[in-house]
Structure 1
Amino acid sequence: MVLGNCKKCGTLYIKAKSPYSNDCQVVQDEVYLQVRNYVKQNPRSTMLDIHEKTGIPISKLLELHNEDYLPFGK
Structure 2
Amino acid sequence: MAIANCKRCGRLYNRIGRDICKDCIREEDDVLLEIRQYLKKHPQANIYEVADGTAATYEEIVAFLRDGRLILRDNPNMAYPCERCGTLTQSGRLCANCTQALAKELGQAAAAIQKEESQGKRGKGFLSR
Please classify the TM superposition score into its range, dividing by the shorter chain length: 0.7 to 0.9
Q: Against the structure 1 CA distance between its residues 6 and 66, is the aligned structure 2 distance closer, same or farther, given a 3 Å change threshold? A: farther
Select the structure of larger CA radius of gyration.
2
Unaligned residue ranges in structure 1 (runs of 5+): none
- Superimposed CA distance per residue, residues 6-49 of structure 1 (whole angstroms, 9 cap, x where no aligned partner): 11012221112322111111111111110011112223321012
TM-score, with structure 1 as normaliser: 0.74
How many pairs were matched up? Answer: 74
TM-score, with structure 2 as normaliser: 0.48
What secondary structure is seen at the aligned counterpart in 2 of 1:17? coil
Query: What is the root-mean-square deviation in Å for CA atoms of aligned residues?
Result: 2.0
Which stretch shifts more, 52-61 or 18-27? 52-61
Counterpart contact for 2:6–2:12, Cα < 8 Å: yes
Which stretch shifts more, 14-23 or 28-37? 14-23
2:70 is the counterpart of 1:64: no
CA separation in 2, counterparts of 1:5 and 1:55?
A: 24
CA separation in 2, counterparts of 1:66 and 1:4?
A: 25
Unaligned residue ranges in structure 2 (runs of 5+): 73-89, 92-129
Q: Which residue of 2 aligns with 1:48?
A: 48
Q: Against the structure 1 CA distance between its residues 7 and 67, is the aligned structure 2 distance closer, same or farther, given a 3 Å change threshold? A: farther
What secondary structure is seen at the aligned counterpart in 2 of 1:3? strand
Structure 1 residue ranges (4+ consecutive) displaced by more than 6 angstroms after TM superposition: none
2:25 is the counterpart of 1:25: yes
**1:55, distance to aligned residue in structure 2 (A):** 4.8
